[in-house]
Amino acid sequence: MDSLTHAFVITLSLPASTPSLYLFAMVLGAIIPDIDILFKPLSDNHPSLFILTHGGFTHSFAGAVVIAGLAWFGIILGVTAGACPYCLGVPPVLILVIFSGICTHIVLDSLAFPGIPLLYPLSLKKFTIGIFPGPSIVLFAASIIFALIMAGGAGSGSFALGYIAFFIIFILLSAGIRSFVRIHTRGIIIPTFHPFRWLVIRDENASYILEDYDLVHGISFKRAYAKSSGLDPGDLLGIEDRHEVRRHRFYSYIVTSERTNEGILFQDPLRKERILFYPPFYIEVTVPDKVHEKTG
């Protein structure tokens, strides 16, 4: 989900009597994990740092601890420099407030597909409840509308409660739909922007089977993707451990490989064919294999 939605959920969930410094710390925690969008150039130029791109390290529990500490230290520096004249210091408990805001962000992001690496650095596996297709357009639009109404002075306390109620009902409804789809399908289920249409991926021995699931019409075959083409069993040994390949795999739903004139091409056909749009980067990568390295 987007930072705007996180900030609104946090702000509206806190009592009106919450001290401003604590409110600031909680909202800061709710949005600061998305600072990783600024780190993409690092991953572009240094594939080994791919975990620093959006939805990576700052969206893990370990990352939450690190950025909570950095944010707390930043607040201390700001208060010391006079940025908050009425503040009488920065209590140590404020770091827990920031951490709580970050955890709220992480929990809400775990609702969306393809998920976040909660246990990094222990594991790169992404965890998700999978009820939204990446960023939720519905919740983002609702947040924008709410912000415009509040900015225009037309909002009220009951209106804010209505926003929270809509947020909760939408999540519960989406979770109910996912549960229904899970019962009637076999494989990995991926939500689309149409709430009644889902994608289903089945991992077979040599291929991935992509199916559509419609709540009204049921399952229909879409197509199959061969896992590899023109490759021998040993061709990928060592190559899949390269940083650029691991980066590509981290952002992909499925990965296929084939030999080309330049080397071995890894790609995510679902994003390549625009069946899925998020995330929009690292869709494919070509790395030289043993044959091309010898030729070079």
Q: Does pLDDT of 37 surpass 80?
A: yes
Q: Residue 223's closest CA among 236, 207, 235? A: 207
Q: β-pairing, 218-226 with 228-229?
A: unpaired
As a whole number, mean pLDDT of residues 150-157 equals 63
Confidence band for 144, pLDDT divided at 50, 70 and 90? confident
pLDDT for the residue numbered 263: 93
User: Is the distance from CB of 239 to CB of 231 less than 8 angstroms?
Assistant: no
As a whole number, mean pLDDT of residues 61-65 equals 96
User: Is the distance from CB of 192 to CB of 133 less than 8 angstroms?
Assistant: yes
The least confident of 57-61, 99-103, 139-143, 167-171 is: 139-143
Q: Could you give the CA distance from residue 247 to residue 176 in angstroms, rounded to a whole number?
A: 33
Q: Residue 131's closest CA among 175, 100, 84, 97? A: 175
pLDDT for the residue numbered 274: 93
As beta bridge partners, residue 212 has 199, 220
User: Is the distance from CB of 279 to CB of 256 less than 8 angstroms?
Assistant: no
Return the half-sphere exposure (C-beta side, CA atoms, 13 A cut-off) of residue 143.
19
What is the Cα Rg of the chain in Å? 22
The share of the chain scoring above pLDDT 90, in percent, equals 54
Q: Phi and psi (nearest 5°) for 14?
A: -90, 150
Phi-psi region of 55 (alpha: psi -120 to 50; beta: other; left: phi over 0): left
Q: Could you give the CA distance from residue 246 to residue 107 in angstroms, rounded to a whole number?
A: 25
